[in-house]
Amino acid sequence: MKEKYNNILILTGAGISAESGLATFRSENGLWNNHRVEDVATIEAYHKNPDYVHDFYNNMKPELWNARPNNAHLAITKLQQEYPAEVHIITQNIDTLHEKAKSKNVHHIHGQINQAVCLHCGKVIETWGDVSSETVCESCGVMGMMKPNIVFFGEDLLCMNKVEELLRKADLFLSVGTSGVVFPAASFVQTAKYYGADTVEFNLEATSNNFYFDRHIMGKAGETLPKFVEDLLNQVHYKSSL
């Protein structure tokens, strides 16, 4: 580990929001909030039965609206505010807890629960209200083409040009609460390592692609990440006081 970093990149997954009470993606029986992933998170499922998919995300909105950021989200904000480096977040989470924690530079590669995109004209709207196959696009006026702005299996990730740039630039890459099985996010650590970043994983357990991490910090992110951030801040403050 270096004494000082200039470009810190943090990849977050469902595990960072677990201590805010939000369920992670796949439970042991392959269900997400009691639904088969194939029925609610694939583009085929959306085309086959859009209202079933809309209902799933509409029903999720109140819980995500009410969720509060936990100490792990807040530790990232503190790092952004107090560490003299550029700090970016790439999140796979569709919740908006990084924004609620007042973090900046948040890149949502899997979309956001509070957005819908028009498949006819590409307009993205922000809404915590319900979206359905009867919703009319406020930009092009076409009905029935609004899709939750969630990246489903079978679709391209969002903001990938920015992600590539950040992965090349990072000198410290942190992965927090992600299982490392959902690609391509699972391969980001490999790219960051290739371009020379120190890499640290925060998880409850060892993950399947742990080969590329220099350090594994096991435990709840709400406990381990604040401590790690304090150590980074102490190190840089100590150095600047010499």
Task: Name the residue among 157, 151, 159, 148 with its Cα closest to residue 117.
Answer: 148
Q: Cα 54 vs. chain centroid, distance in angstroms?
A: 21
The answer to whether residue 71 forms part of the interface with ligand NAD (CB under 6 A) is: no
Q: Which positions from 2 to 41 touch ligand NAD by CB under 6 A, shown as an x/- string?
A: -----------xxx-xxx--xxxxx---------------
Judge whether 193 and 30 are in contact, CB under 8 Å. no
Check whether the bond before 184 is cis (ω within 30° of 0).
yes
The answer to whether residue 175 forms part of the interface with ligand NAD (CB under 6 A) is: no
Residue 40 CA: distances (Å) to CA of 33, 128, 159, 173 = 10, 19, 23, 31
Taking the C-alpha atoms of residue 98 and residue 76, their distance in angstroms, rounded to an integer, is 8
Nearest CB to ligand NAD, comparing residues 10 and 137: 10
Q: Which residues contact 146 (CB under 8 A, 6 or more apart)?
A: 116, 117, 118, 119, 125, 131, 135, 137
Nearest CB to ligand NAD, comparing residues 88 and 220: 220
Nearest CB to ligand NAD, comparing residues 21 and 84: 21
The answer to whether residue 193 forms part of the interface with ligand NAD (CB under 6 A) is: no
The answer to whether residue 110 forms part of the interface with ligand NAD (CB under 6 A) is: yes
For ligand NAD, the binding residue among 85, 142, 204, 233 (CB under 6 A) is: 204
Q: Is 110 a catalytic residue?
A: yes
Task: Name the residue among 113, 116, 110, 114 with its Cα closest to residue 137.
Answer: 116
Which position among 35, 54, 110, 237 bears the catalytic label? 110
For ligand NAD, the binding residue among 146, 177, 192, 193 (CB under 6 A) is: 177
Phi, psi (deg, nearest 5) at residue 12: -120, 150
The answer to whether residue 207 forms part of the interface with ligand NAD (CB under 6 A) is: yes
Token pair in block for residue 19: 């201590």
Q: Which positions from 209 to 228 touch ligand NAD by CB under 6 A, shown as an x/- string?
A: -----------xx-------
The answer to whether residue 42 forms part of the interface with ligand NAD (CB under 6 A) is: no
Nearest CB to ligand NAD, comparing residues 115 and 207: 207
Active site residues: 110
Interacting residues with ligand NAD (CB under 6 A): 13-15, 17-19, 22-26, 92-95, 110, 177-179, 182, 202-205, 207, 220-221
